[in-house]
Amino acid sequence: MRPAPLPDPSLLKAANINPNTGLATDYLNHYNEIAMMIATLGDMPEMQESILEWRPVGYAAHFRMTGFRDRDLAVAAYESVPPDVKARFFAARREVELAILDVQDLMEAAPEASARLAARAPEIFAAIARLGGVINGGEVHLAD
């Protein structure tokens, strides 16, 4: 079963949703926030609890929970994302999530290693950038 066609491109553009992919970069906020918390661990070890509480949230769920002005359009467009784009999106999203979950696991095993774990933030930001590339319609090469 093929997804329905994407909504009108002008509506998508006006809502800051890529008309070619049907995806919005607003979703990256979910990952940027946790990456910034991880980056501050060296100076702010009190961020550990918030980092450990973080959980991945799917695309549609993210928009349903946020104040994104055009959240209904974002969810509708997501349901029509072309299968090849969605496959790349899932792979890139999984890469980001695994990097964050790895930091959480290491933090639970060695809470005293906050400063060392902060050094993992650039890797997470790079994975977020690759996910952004998928959202924006570019070719993305996942990290090995």
Per-residue exposure over 95-129, b if at least 16 CB sit within 10 Å of its own CB, e if not? bbbebbeebbeebeeeeeebeebbebbebbbebbe
What integer pLDDT is reported at residue 144 of this predicted model?
Answer: 45
Residue 14 structure tokens:
């006006």
pLDDT tens string, the chain, 144 residues long: the values are 556 777 788 899 999 999 999 999 999 999 999 999 999 998 999 999 999 999 999 999 999 998 899 999 999 999 999 999 999 999 999 999 999 999 999 999 998 888 899 999 999 999 999 999 999 997 555 444
Looking at residue 3, its pLDDT comes to 65
pTM for the whole thing?
A: 0.90
Per-residue confidence (pLDDT) for residue 7, from 0 to 100: 74
DSSP 66: S
- Amino acid in the structure at residue 136: N
Which alpha helices (DSSP H) does the chain contain, by range?
Answer: 9-14, 29-39, 48-53, 59-65, 71-78, 83-109, 114-118, 121-135
